[in-house]
Amino acid sequence: MNAKNILPVFFILFGFLLAACSTPGPATIAPESVSPSPDAQTDTPTVPTGVTPELGMPTDTPTPKGPEVFSTDNLNDVPPDGILKEIVSLGFGGGDPFCSFPYTQPSIASDPDDTELMMEAEVVTCGWAEGDELTFTVTFPNGHMAEEKAIVDESGRGAFSYRPALDDPEGLYRFEISGRGLKFESNVYFRAPLVPRFYAIDDGHLLFNNFQPHEKIRLFLYFYLSDVYVFQGWQEFELDASGQLLLKAPAAAGYFFAQTAPGLEIPLTTSNSLQKGFQMNREASMSAESLAKRQALEAKSQAHLACPTGFASQIDFKAAQGQAVEVRPFGKAWLYANPRTSARQVLRFEPGQVVEISPLDLLICADGRGWRRVYVDVKTPAGTLSTSGYVIEIDENKKNRLEQVSGKPATPTAALCPGPLQSRLSPEGRARVAFTDGTKMRIRARAGFTQETLRLVPEGTLLIITGGPVCIDGTTWWRIRTRDDFDGWMAEYKDTVYLLEPFQW
């Protein structure tokens, strides 16, 4: 839900993820490795208590080959075809997407998404008073528990992250936040990874998993210099008979991605915000062919959400011409944090309440039901809060539970907006924040310059057009979604300056 180490680690963050690199380190249950200089790194990774010495792998899993060494002294500095020597930093993120809304009481603002083992899941809570002590507890499917405490600062925000190891159990993990006599619960379902991944397990080691037996991979290294990621070189490795490899690598020294012999590019799985920023910038420069291969890989990782025969959606997006579709649930219905009935129930819909479905959000099936991600406005004493979650479109009896109200957004639309500039964007298109004067641009809750600002994003931020156009205040407005799944409205231009521009990525 938004506006959505092999060591088990909890974080409490006060500020947005991509700004975390400029703030003090997060509180943890078991301390993460501090980023050392490359020559200070140890030869073996830290092994958590109760886990076998084979880097947290299950006891029946073969020991990964290695550790081999990725050395900056041994690199091939000639980039293969399709590998850029420089990747321009376009700038991503900015602002706090959750607690800018004036919460009148503590609440969960964002639930953790269902994901894989070794992936980070985060729950965000807002509305606390400065000095409140929060306790975060995670309960494993096998009953094991871990706990962390932290003090709320002046922002009133608490964000807790957890990343289970590969040998931790699959299943439902319960997250609990308590403080000031209040208690909130959410949960996340962690599944074992099904596709090739490589992980930063500490600041000196990488672990490759789920590759083909004896598959060869290339590991690429970039450094960051003056707003540009500069190619340093690559080195080739062969994985073992189980498709694994342990690699000693100076993870703190640069930015990595891997490539298989067929050309499949795989990002580094890590909680480090700077590495995530590098990956998003690199994806913006990838070829259509490379992106298609990546999308196919991720689709395979989500195969468990594919719909079986008989689950046919009745939502008609054609009439909406690429814009969001309005629907209302039949009878009693809930908004869930994740597509399963065991997820947290975020809110109960009022009779006749209308919600929106973006054409980019496909029908997914889980828990014997068909689900849609929807966007809903919730009226609170402090104003209207825009949020999202999942609603049942097709129930366990294969009956449709949504009624389509309209193919167009409720906001008035206009094909043309009078003024000195003409629109250059289109529904379902892609765009980015234009480079103008270096200032950040506002994402608003509604179209219009007087509407509430939800978030500030820097120039170069990549966007997906999900609705519009709307003519308000003499300007063309578009509903957009950012790469990190933040939703809102942005002005295409103001006066004689384009603020958004077409950009394919």
* pLDDT score of 51: 29
Given a cut of 90, whether residue 329 has pLDDT beyond it is: yes
- Mean pLDDT within 441-445: 89
Are 244 and 339 in the same domain? no
Nearby residues of 427 by Cβ (< 8 Å), 6 or more positions away: 321, 322, 323, 465, 467, 468, 469
Report, in this order, helix, strand and coil percent for the chain, each rounded to 5: 10, 40, 50
In a domain, 285, yes or no: yes
What CATH number corresponds to the domain at position 482? 2.30.30.40
- Mean pLDDT within 296-300: 89
Q: How confident is the model at residue 251 (pLDDT cuts 50, 70, 90)?
A: low
- Mean pLDDT within 463-477: 86
Are 142 and 205 in the same domain? yes
Given a cut of 50, whether residue 234 has pLDDT beyond it is: yes
Given a cut of 70, whether residue 309 has pLDDT beyond it is: yes
* pLDDT score of 35: 29
Are 144 and 253 in the same domain? yes
Give the residues across from 227 on adjacent strands.
Answer: none
Are 106 and 155 in the same domain? yes
Are 145 and 264 in the same domain? yes
Q: How confident is the model at residue 468 (pLDDT cuts 50, 70, 90)?
A: confident
Convert the pLDDT of each residue in 70-103 to its tens digit: 988 889 999 998 899 999 887 654 445 678 788 8
Q: Count structural domains, the chain.
A: 3
- Mean pLDDT within 30-44: 31
Q: How confident is the model at residue 58 (pLDDT cuts 50, 70, 90)?
A: very low
Are 359 and 473 in the same domain? no
Are 241 and 379 in the same domain? no
Asked which of 13-17, 105-109, 160-164, 354-358 is least confident by mean pLDDT, the reply is 13-17
Give the residues across from 491 on adjacent strands.
Answer: 477
How would you class 342 by CB atoms within 10 Å of its CB: exposed for 0-12, middle for 13-18, buried for 19 or more? exposed
Given a cut of 80, whether residue 321 has pLDDT beyond it is: no
Given a cut of 70, whether residue 339 has pLDDT beyond it is: yes
The pTM of this model reads 0.72
Instruction: Output the CA angle 492-484-478, nearest 5 degrees.
Output: 20
C-alpha 498/C-alpha 348 separation (Å) is: 41
C-alpha 211: how far from chain center: 24
Given a cut of 90, whether residue 142 has pLDDT beyond it is: yes
In a domain, 415, yes or no: no
Q: Phi/psi zone of residue 73: left (φ > 0), alpha (ψ -120 to 50 degrees), beta?
A: alpha
* pLDDT score of 66: 63
* pLDDT score of 13: 30
- Mean pLDDT within 250-268: 87
**Sequential DSSP letters for 118-182:** TS-EEEEEE-PPTT-EEEEEEE-TTS-EEEEEEE--TT--EEEEE---TTSPPEEEEEEEEETTE
In a domain, 480, yes or no: yes
Given a cut of 50, whether residue 443 has pLDDT beyond it is: yes
Neighbours of 227 (CB within 10 A): 10
In a domain, 335, yes or no: yes
Residues of the domain holding 476 = 430-502
Give the residues across from 173 on adjacent strands.
Answer: 188
Are 39 and 68 in the same domain? yes
Given a cut of 80, whether residue 1 has pLDDT beyond it is: no
C-alpha 355/C-alpha 377 separation (Å) is: 8
C-alpha 213/C-alpha 296 separation (Å) is: 21
Nearby residues of 137 by Cβ (< 8 Å), 6 or more positions away: 145, 146, 147, 175, 176, 178
In a domain, 420, yes or no: no
Asked which of 147-156, 184-193, 402-411 is least confident by mean pLDDT, the reply is 402-411
| pLDDT > 70 fraction of the chain, expressed in percent and rounded | 82
- Mean pLDDT within 350-372: 91
Do 62 and 244 contact (CB within 8 A), yes or no?
A: yes
Are 332 and 473 in the same domain? no
Higher pLDDT among residues 247 and 449, named by residue = 247
Higher pLDDT among residues 172 and 381, named by residue = 172
Q: How many helices (H) and strands (E) does the chain have?
A: 2, 35
DSSP state of 400: B
C-alpha 87/C-alpha 102 separation (Å) is: 38
Which domain-ending residue is among 267, 301, 335? 301
Q: How confident is the model at residue 14 (pLDDT cuts 50, 70, 90)?
A: very low
Are 322 and 296 in the same domain? no
Q: How far is CA 70 from CA 66, 237, 262, 269, 411, in A?
A: 11, 9, 21, 17, 55
Are 479 and 356 in the same domain? no
Of the ranges 288-302, 320-334, 341-355, 398-412, the best mean pLDDT one: 341-355
* pLDDT score of 42: 35
- Mean pLDDT within 320-326: 77
In a domain, 308, yes or no: no
- Mean pLDDT within 46-56: 31
What CATH number corresponds to the domain at position 184? 2.60.40.10
C-alpha 169: how far from chain center: 23
Of the ranges 172-176, 267-271, 416-420, the best mean pLDDT one: 172-176
* pLDDT score of 359: 82
Nearby residues of 420 by Cβ (< 8 Å), 6 or more positions away: 495, 496
Q: How far is CA 179 from CA 50, 100, 102, 106, 127, in A?
A: 30, 21, 19, 9, 12
What CATH number corresponds to the domain at position 354? 2.30.30
DSSP state of 288: H
Are 271 and 165 in the same domain? yes
In a domain, 252, yes or no: yes
* pLDDT score of 185: 96
Q: How confident is the model at residue 43 (pLDDT cuts 50, 70, 90)?
A: very low
* pLDDT score of 63: 65
Given a cut of 70, whether residue 322 has pLDDT beyond it is: no
Given a cut of 70, whether residue 143 has pLDDT beyond it is: yes
Higher pLDDT among residues 401 and 382, named by residue = 401
